[in-house]
A and B are shown apart, each in its own frame.
Chain A
């Protein structure tokens, strides 16, 4: 039976502020799951702490709402133990680029086949509006007394430098585009990061929906706003690494693109490279039957509860008589 996105809804009240960009992300995610026909019990959503961390409770798949900044360690543990699961990690920009950034970087070294969605709103929503690591220096958002003294992290560049093999950006209110990006991220073989620009109408009074739509700059000819966002796929940008020789060139191109900000902000896929072996493929090299009999599926005891593992190989080394 084909599933509809509403089949992925729980009846938990969605308690985000009215107009929050998270609503768009939630719907896009549910639509992506439905369109990919992923059976709910095979999907695990893992999240950190923040407004963004609540997503799993609203989606009728397995949900693991973890600690602030720790969404990736949990997600990786789940995926390594049971590679049959479709694991999607979710977190805020503070979660992933502040307190959890060490995990973000190191996950890139492993290239597990999971998807990581960052709700990038420039603020710490749930703690009432402090600046997040993606806010530009010099900007003062509503709730804080002074302009931001730190420079911003660019999630796209950091992800590429860390070894992510699929790096994209999308916009919370363009749900159909976001849904497509999420679908591609899930289908990608390897670790995928999607930086989702997510207006927070309550605390980020700078990068607002109106700002992204360019309502502050009306085209005198048409009388219409000039949007800040444009799609990479519409300007002929090719993010794919077709052969390993062009990896560096593609990375540099993607980083250059990712530097664009302000008047013109690209969204879409910046970088995609399926030539890097995934963590699972690396394990198979050492434990050949890993996918057929992964940790979560191995029988460890018999019907009488006696252990099934043989420790003979250990004992051979330890035996002295």
Chain B
């Protein structure tokens, strides 16, 4: 099969429907049997500032972006300014013909620090700040400039629809550029129409408008530029069932399947979409005809309420979770400590984003690993589970509940903005093997014969659990140190025993959870060099790994999924064998590397780090790994790609 690797980008002001365009584009490709990976970038702003969607289309599964853009669909001049350097020779830029004379340095939404950098760039190239000048320069590099009369096309659309005012359809620039794009690559327009119809199915009034816009734009591109563009997208035969979803959606569906019945949240990016998606589906069906189910999503007054409400619900035997990101998790910390002390099976889905403080509210980062592991006063057991891709987000959402209930402790499911807001196509997730493990629970019948103690001392540290409301099982919880019944106790000997009982559960996690659930290993077991990483860099790392292995380099990749308790013995076994250990992470200090060194004594030989708020691409991970393997790299490399 011919290799397909086509990189499309749509950009424009926030509120102009970039996301919609990308969703339609991705779906349309997916309908045609192509694989898609796409990433959403946006400002912490509602309307006006720049946002874009970088989408990669392939004939095989893809799970990261490249630096390249093959076709840039620019809704406005700013998009051209920001992304022109990413467009590769042979690629193309779709641009509004009426905006060519815009002076780019006067664009109001470009911040001063960008303008002064861009001014230097223009001066170094001897270019004026007219957009047309910039585009001419690109053209000389072999980039096609597709000048499209946006207004003229909109007028045609308006007259076809019988609409008098252009302002009413200005929003359709997004679908217009989608139509142009697909016309240029000569893709099956019926699949695109299907995507438009599906996307707008809840709003029947605007379906037809968008279909008309799509077709006019598509025909225009075919008529005006046939054969101008070397890229061509053809549908592929596909038999299997596939889905197209984001990390937010994967977590939501996983949670619901895993039995989550109460979800609390206080709105925060990039976590809130998950809760809203669940709420939209609050009435659930089950496999048993006539058996109803429902999940209740509660928007609380703050994150303090969110975690404590979820903990309260968990005490009744409900699978309960809360979702947040850094600022919210900071507020949850006291509640986390309470849940640890009271052995509450509560799940916290933690979407990292650029920090500290509000940081980069809508941008990516893996800044909070150490925080997730250490947050909370005192020592108490918890599990920190980090998903590396959207598929793992789905399965880990279920596993998190299983661990929480089996070991009776809070579980932090760590994900990040890159996973939350990326979308990818997958073969339908396999669900037959999924198990729901609720741990040791006593019901009314079992309680008839003895006096129940909630925190009874046991071999494993896990005491049988009774839900609030069960007859014969009355017990108490308290944030104070407590005796087996759950009453306050400050007795020194009880304290020692109770601390040991709780902390012992981490040993149970080490023994009872198989290593296959804690780490993933890719590549040759005997490779000389090994990458360690966690979370969303996974996709870019694996793609780089395969490329470099093909080139003859000896390289493998250890992805750590359970970061606390760290499976340090196994990790050490892998790392000891390697000549070079290469730590790849999206933070400043190499947090996982530090933790591994603390627990195994093994230092990281090389660091590839990034903290500019934009996820790692395959291109830059590959470009950073290669010199390491060639003994030409500094110990610490900092990646900076992405606008």
Binding site for B on A (CB under 8 A): 10, 12, 39-42, 44, 46, 49, 54, 56-57, 60-67, 70, 72-78, 80-82, 84-85, 102-103, 105-106, 283, 286-287, 289-290, 292-293, 295-296, 298-302, 305-315, 318-321
* A76 and B300 alpha carbons, distance in the complex (Å): 11
Please, what's the 1-or-0 string for B292-334, where 1 marks a CB less than 8 Å from any CB in chain A?
1111101011101110111111111111100000000000001
Top 3 nearest A-B pairs (CB, nearest first) are A77-B312, A300-B259, A77-B309
Query: Does chain A have a CB within 8 A of B464?
Result: no
* A87 and B471 alpha carbons, distance in the complex (Å): 16
Identify A73's interface contact among B30, B245, B300, CB under 8 A.
B300
* A39 and B474 alpha carbons, distance in the complex (Å): 11
Shortest beta-carbon distance from B17 to chain A in Å: 19
Query: Does chain A have a CB within 8 A of B459?
Result: no
A295 and B479: CB pair below 8 A? no
* A309 and B306 alpha carbons, distance in the complex (Å): 24
Q: Nearest chain-B residue to A295 (Cβ)?
A: B261
B467 and A296: CB pair below 8 A? yes
Q: Quick one: which of B317-357 are within 8 Å of A by CB?
A: 317-320, 334-335, 338
B286 and A289: CB pair below 8 A? no
* A253 and B116 alpha carbons, distance in the complex (Å): 65
Identify A81's interface contact among B242, B261, B283, B300, CB under 8 A.
B261
Please name all residues of chain B whose beta carbon is closer than 8 Å to the beta carbon of A318 when the two chains form the complex: 243-245, 249, 253
Shortest beta-carbon distance from B481 to chain A in Å: 12
Binding site for A on B (CB under 8 A): 27, 30-31, 33, 238, 240-245, 249, 252-253, 256-259, 261-262, 264, 281-288, 291-296, 298, 300-302, 304-306, 308-320, 334-335, 338, 398, 425, 428, 431-432, 434-438, 467-480, 486-488
Given A62-B469, A308-B286, 8 further pairs, Cβ under 8 A: A66-B479, A76-B312, A80-B309, A296-B467, A298-B294, A309-B256, A318-B245, A320-B31
Q: A102-B302, A293-B293, A295-B318 are in contact. Are A305 and B436 (CB under 8 A)?
A: yes
Q: A308-B287, A321-B31, A321-B33 are in contact. Are A85 and B431 (CB under 8 A)?
A: no
Q: A82-B316, A318-B244, A321-B242 are in contact. Are A308 and B30 (CB under 8 A)?
A: no
Number of A-B contacts (CB under 8 A): 240
Shortest beta-carbon distance from A72 to chain B in Å: 8
* A321 and B284 alpha carbons, distance in the complex (Å): 23
B285 and A312: CB pair below 8 A? yes
Please name all residues of chain A whose beta carbon is closer than 8 Å to the beta carbon of B472 when the two chains form the complex: 41
Please name all residues of chain B whose beta carbon is closer than 8 Å to the beta carbon of A77 when the two chains form the complex: 262, 264, 308-314, 320
Please name all residues of chain B whose beta carbon is closer than 8 Å to the beta carbon of A299 when the two chains form the complex: 291
Shortest beta-carbon distance from B447 to chain A in Å: 10
Q: A73-B309, A309-B259 are in contact. Are A321 and B474 (CB under 8 A)?
A: no
A-B contact pairs, 23 of them (CB 8 A): A41-B472, A61-B474, A63-B478, A64-B312, A73-B308, A80-B296, A80-B313, A81-B262, A82-B468, A85-B468, A103-B304, A283-B296, A287-B282, A296-B318, A298-B294, A301-B436, A306-B435, A307-B436, A308-B259, A309-B257, A309-B259, A310-B287, A319-B428
A319 and B312: CB pair below 8 A? no
Residue of A65, A105, A320 contacting most chain B CB atoms (<10 Å): A320
Residue of A56, A289, A295, A301 contacting most chain B CB atoms (<10 Å): A295
* A222 and B507 alpha carbons, distance in the complex (Å): 74
* A158 and B295 alpha carbons, distance in the complex (Å): 32
Shortest beta-carbon distance from B520 to chain A in Å: 23
Please name all residues of chain B whose beta carbon is closer than 8 Å to the beta carbon of A62 when the two chains form the complex: 468-469, 474-476
Please name all residues of chain B whose beta carbon is closer than 8 Å to the beta carbon of A67 when the two chains form the complex: 308, 334-335, 338, 479
Please name all residues of chain A whose beta carbon is closer than 8 Å to the beta carbon of B310 when the two chains form the complex: 77
Please name all residues of chain B whose beta carbon is closer than 8 Å to the beta carbon of A295 when the two chains form the complex: 261-262, 294-296, 313, 316, 318, 320
Q: A80-B262, A301-B438, A318-B249 are in contact. Are A296 and B469 (CB under 8 A)?
A: yes
Please name all residues of chain B whose beta carbon is closer than 8 Å to the beta carbon of A315 when the two chains form the complex: 243, 253, 428
* A65 and B435 alpha carbons, distance in the complex (Å): 33
A306 and B434: CB pair below 8 A? yes
